């Protein structure tokens, strides 16, 4: 009887040990739209029409580094690549329409377009970075104070599409008790864990005659300097917003440069997926389906607590490992020349 029960148990498990239905191969981008017209409906129509074109341009920019933006192509048939769109946060008046527009585009035509233009691109989206904004001023630096316009600029930043999203701390009691000016690396890492960040860093902004001098301090000990140029007519809050945008761009550029796909040539990797039961397998399967660099997955063999997969992927092994890590999947070597895929301990 135990053998029979084991047989039926493996049979039921086998029904679930199949590749997920192929996810639509698309790339999504979100932008804020704002349009006016003679009526609300006319303003909405204009916002959605112009917004889709703006979204396509934003998509190309989000996948590529800024030095290549001037030579991005302008295909006449980009509308053929629109899968669908959705709107959120709609606000209207008699003649104005505002919303957050999300557009999904077919991925392969976009990849082909950039490849034909000879422009390297990245697809892997990073987990967010947490930026803790400290305003350096005479007397004492400000962090959680109401007068910290630098923190407010970060908290008010719109959350638009990017491969390297950036978060700002809420500044609630937990944050205040955990981190303050001069806190050590351990407390910085604790902040990062709270927000699910891939990294946490301090951004010190010091007003100057020309604008802002910003110093980034990473948990690793590395630093970076960013100068923000401002005009005499610029309001302080506008300068801080510009500074936040430049810091976010700096982080995005660094991420993309490390994850550019030099060519679209793909490889195939045999991996052993290790899991504890059906629920773990379903998590691995679903997370794999969301990793853009995994173009296709095949299940070759299954057992109670492991499965052999063939992963057809873009990018090199380091890039694939990074992409899997963003989905809380860990790719390691088994000591015998094989590769093992498992759920992250931070799942």
Type and span of the H or E element at 33: strand 26-36
**Torsion sign over Cα 271, 272, 278, 279:** negative
Give which of 150, 154, 203, 194 is closest to 176, Cα–Cα. Answer: 194
Q: How far is CA 27 from its chain centroid?
A: 12
The series of mean pLDDT values per 10 residues for the chain, 347 residues long, is 43 47 73 94 95 96 96 96 95 94 95 94 95 94 96 91 94 97 95 96 95 96 95 90 96 95 78 92 92 91 90 91 94 86 80
pLDDT value at residue 265 = 60
**Torsion sign over Cα 114, 120, 125, 130:** negative
DSSP state of 144: S
Whether residue 201 contacts residue 217, with contact meaning beta carbons closer than 8 Å, is answered with yes
pLDDT value at residue 91 = 94
**Pairing mode of beta strands 211-218, 306-314:** unpaired
pLDDT value at residue 197 = 95
Cα–Cα distance between 16 and 65 in angstroms, integer? 41
pLDDT value at residue 337 = 76
Place of tokens 């950036």: 166
Whether residue 261 contacts residue 120, with contact meaning beta carbons closer than 8 Å, is answered with yes
Model-level pTM? 0.84
Type and span of the H or E element at 262: none
- Give backbone dihedrals phi and psi of 182, rounded to 5 degrees, phi first: 90, 0
Where do the domains of the chain lie, and which CATH numbers do they carry? 26-116 (3.10.28), 129-258 (3.40.50), 262-343 (3.30.70)
Q: Quote the longest CA-to-CA distance of the chain.
A: 85
Cα–Cα distance between 259 and 246 in angstroms, integer? 20
Type and span of the H or E element at 105: strand 96-106
Cα–Cα distance between 332 and 342 in angstroms, integer? 8
**Torsion sign over Cα 170, 174, 179, 185:** negative
Cα–Cα distance between 90 and 100 in angstroms, integer? 7
pLDDT value at residue 264 = 57
| Measured CA distances, 295 to 54, 307, 338 (Å) | 27, 19, 21
pLDDT value at residue 242 = 96
Place of tokens 């860093």: 201
pLDDT value at residue 68 = 97
Residues 242-281 as b or e (16 or more Cβ within 10 Å = b): bbbebbbebbbeebbeebbbeeeeeeeeebbbbbeeeebb
């Amino acid at each position: 009887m135990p053998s029979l029960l084991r047989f039926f148990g493996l049979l039921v498990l086998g029904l679930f040990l199949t590749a997920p239905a192929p996810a639509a191969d698309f790339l999504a981008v979100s932008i804020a739209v704002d349009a006016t017209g003679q009526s609300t409906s006319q303003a909405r129509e204009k916002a959605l029409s112009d917004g889709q074109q703006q979204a396509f341009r934003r998509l190309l920019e989000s996948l590529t580094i800024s030095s290549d933006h001037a030579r991005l192509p302008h295909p006449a048939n980009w509308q053929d690549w629109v899968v669908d769109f959705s709107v959120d946060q709609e606000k209207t008046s008699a003649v104005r329409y505002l919303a957050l527009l999300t557009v999904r585009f077919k991925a392969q035509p976009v990849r082909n377009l950039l490849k034909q233009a000879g422009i390297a691109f990245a697809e892997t989206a990073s987990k967010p970075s947490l930026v803790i904004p400290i305003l350096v001023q005479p007397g004492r630096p400000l962090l959680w104070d109401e007068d910290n316009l630098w923190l407010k600029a970060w908290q008010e930043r719109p959350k638009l599409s990017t491969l390297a999203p950036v978060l700002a701390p809420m500044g609630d009691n937990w944050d205040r008790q955990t981190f303050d000016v001069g806190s050590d690396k351990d407390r910085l890492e604790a902040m990062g864990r709270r927000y699910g960040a891939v990294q946490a860093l301090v951004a010190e902004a010091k007003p100057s005659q020309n604008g802002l001098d910003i110093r980034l301090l990473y948990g690793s000990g590395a630093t970076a300097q960013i100068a923000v140029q401002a005009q005499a007519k610029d309001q302080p809050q506008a300068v801080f917003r510009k500074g936040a945008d430049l810091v976010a761009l700096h982080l995005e550029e660094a991420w993309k440069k490390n994850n550019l796909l030099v060519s679209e040539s793909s490889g195939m990797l045999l991996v052993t997926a290790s899991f504890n039961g059906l629920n773990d397998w379903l998590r691995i399967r679903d997370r794999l389906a969301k990793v853009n660099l995994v173009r296709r997955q095949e299940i070759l063999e299954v057992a109670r607590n492991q499965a052999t997969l063939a992963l057809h992927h873009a990018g090199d092994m380091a890039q694939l490992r990074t992409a899997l890590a963003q989905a809380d999947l860990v790719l390691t070597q088994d000591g015998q020349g094989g590769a093992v895929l498992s759920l992250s301990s931070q799942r």
